[in-house]
Amino acid sequence: MNFNTKILCIGAGYVGGPTMTVIADKCPQVKVTVVDINQSRIDAWNSDKLPIFEPGLDEVVHRARGRNLFFSTDVALAIKDADIIFVSVNTPTKTFGQGAGKASDLQYWEKTARQILEVSTSDKIIVEKSTLPVRTAAAMERILNSNDKGLHFEVLSNPEFLAEGTAIQDLFAPDRVLIGSHQTPSGIAACEKVVGIYANWVPRERILTTNLWSSELTKLTANAFLAQRITSINSISALCERTGADVDEVAYVMGKDSRIGPKFLKSSIGFGGSCFKKDILNLVYLCEHYGLPQVAAYWESVVNINEWQTHRFVARMLEHMFNTIAGKRIAVFGFAFKADTGDTRESPAHLVVRDLLEERAHPIVTDPKAISEAKRDLKDVLDKVVFEEDPYKASENAHAVVVCTEWKQFAALDWKRIYDSMEKPAFVFDGRNILNVVELRKIGFEVVSVGKGMAET
């Protein structure tokens, strides 16, 4: 098969895998190769058991894999062969040195840039798919264009806005695609090439082009705004609990205001995921770096309130359970950071389990997709936590169930059966407000929800 363009993506994770799969599916004339240094991840992409769970992903991978979609660990060969290279490696928060705890750790990104420089034998377009601090492209260009081979590398920014759990849907019908480039003839030409790829399925008016720095900053800002909305409603949930207001009612009515809108107003035990916290902290670091401590403090408070919300929820559990949970079995329903994913990075369930252990409770973790990830995250306390696939078994003889992930399955369980097998009084702490409280109370449960004071009863 003669392909008209060869795309490479470096990094076969939650972003690289699904985005490239959809590009391959929608552009059969383009050869798409995804590489990673992690052999077992690539083996899984080439197998029937993909390395990540994402609704609809299997079907699309099966359609494109072997036709124009390839997964490999031969990074050097794939770089040589590519016209356009998307870089989708991880950019976690730095854990050492200057900026530790806030700045992005760019070592994976820089290693990639140096490898591209080392093995390339032709001009290439390099696309930042990872979320990066604003002005990273300038540093990358300096590395890449420091070559004496006479090669030109044009760096673009094309941040990814997909949400885990709905990645395939988001990629098939994105609200917008953003491509940032230098406003020079070569920058604009490179940008048009990448626009041309997305234009195979995304309406042209949804493909937005900006300068490089706007594009890089937009991604950080978009995540900060989304997280801030969750934190705003969560902060109000605390006031609801004290006053007898119901946070779901408040959010529903507020959301009817078209200036506010209904989305991202669901109160919970807090947001998780690999991106929100990391990207806000990165924004905080940038603001500090550019001499804006007030702006930095504003955004940092979003992360602080989020963690407080999770600890606060466990403190309420303790209060309701007669101020002691030592020795009590507590079934933790859900360990993934949200429903429809097996991803547990920064999951509030993790904090909940740690807080329960601190109180010497016995947590039993159940999750439809994330048991192995939970075991990995809790590997230092495996002797203190039980993992159980079946939520009915997890709740047997438990004093309480705490819902940490909004899996639909949990709402559909036979709660009478669960009640009958539990210690009494049987408590349910609904950290996602997904359960039918009236029904549960009829069965006999003591139910505690987020943002609902006892005055609700």
List, by residue number, the catalytic residues: 275
174 binds ligand NAD (CB under 6 A): no
d(CA 418, CA 391): 9
Minimum distance from CB of 1 to ligand NAD (Å)? 25
The sign one gets for the Cα dihedral 242, 243, 249, 253 is negative
Q: Considering beta carbons, is residue 10 or 195 the nearer one to ligand NAD?
A: 10
SS3 of residue 386 by DSSP: strand
Return the axis-axis angle of helices 293-320 and 212-243, rounded to nearest 10°.
Answer: 40
16 binds ligand NAD (CB under 6 A): yes
Q: Does 131 interact with ligand NAD (rule: CB under 6 A)?
A: yes
Tokens 């240094």, located at residue? 37
Residue among 15 and 30 whose Cβ is closer to ligand NAD: 15
Q: Does 164 bind ligand NAD (CB under 6 A)?
A: yes
| Shortest separation between residue 277's beta carbon and ligand NAD, angstroms | 11
Does 89 contact ligand NAD by CB under 6 A?
yes
Which residue in the set 3, 6, 28, 37 belongs to the binding site for ligand NAD (CB under 6 A)? 37
Alpha helical stretches, state H, 49-184: 57-64, 75-81, 107-119, 136-144, 167-172
Nearer to ligand NAD, 41 or 452 (CB): 41
Q: How many H helices and E strands in the chain?
A: 18, 14
- Number of C-alpha atoms within 13 angstroms, CB side, residue 166? 9
Q: How far is the CB of 448 from ligand NAD (least distance, A)?
A: 30
| Among 267, 260, 285, residue whose Cα is nearest residue 231 | 267
| Binder of ligand NAD out of 20, 34, 41, 404 (CB under 6 A) | 41
Closest CB 183 distance from ligand NAD, rounded Å: 25
Contact stretch for ligand NAD (CB under 6 A) within 83-91, 294-302, 375-383, 414-422? 83-91
Indicate the pairing of strand 30-35 with strand 69-72. parallel
Per rule CB under 6 A, is residue 14 in the interface with ligand NAD? yes
One-letter amino acid identity for 98? Answer: Q
Cα(368)–Cα(390) distance, integer angstroms? 8
36, 355, 367, 373: which one binds ligand NAD (CB under 6 A)? 36
Per CB under 6 A, the segment of 34-42, 356-364, 387-395, 401-409 that binds ligand NAD is: 34-42
Of the pair 274, 433, the CB lying nearest ligand NAD is at 274
Contact flag: residue 13 with ligand NAD (CB under 6 A): yes
The stretch among 57-65, 104-112, 135-143, 420-428 that binds ligand NAD (CB under 6 A) is: 104-112
Using rule CB under 6 A, residue 18 touches ligand NAD: no
The smaller minimum CB distance to ligand NAD, of residues 275 and 352, is found at: 275
* Binders of ligand NAD in range 257-296 (CB under 6 A): 274-275
Instruction: Specify which residues 34 forms β-bridges with.
Output: 9, 71
| Among the listed residues 28, 67, 108, 201, the single contact to ligand NAD using CB under 6 A | 108
CB of 108 to ligand NAD, least distance (A): 4
- 133-to-29, 187, 222, 418 alpha-carbon distances in Å: 33, 20, 13, 48
Figure out which of the listed residues 130, 209, 215, 228 binds ligand NAD, where binding follows CB under 6 A: 130
The residue among 159 and 391 lying less far from ligand NAD, judged by its C-beta, is: 159
Nearer to ligand NAD, 166 or 421 (CB): 166
Closest CA to 162 of 151, 147, 174: 174
Distance CA 86, CA 89 (A): 9
Edge-first strand order for the sheet with 207-211 is: 69-72, 30-35, 5-10, 84-87, 124-128, 153-157, 177-181, 207-211
Give start and end residues of each alpha helix (H) in 256-370: 276-289, 293-320, 348-358
CB-neighbour burial class of residue 237 (10 A; exposed 0-12, middle 13-18, buried 19+): buried
Residues that bind ligand NAD (CB under 6 A): 10-16, 35-38, 41, 75, 88-91, 108, 111-112, 130-131, 160, 162, 164, 274-275
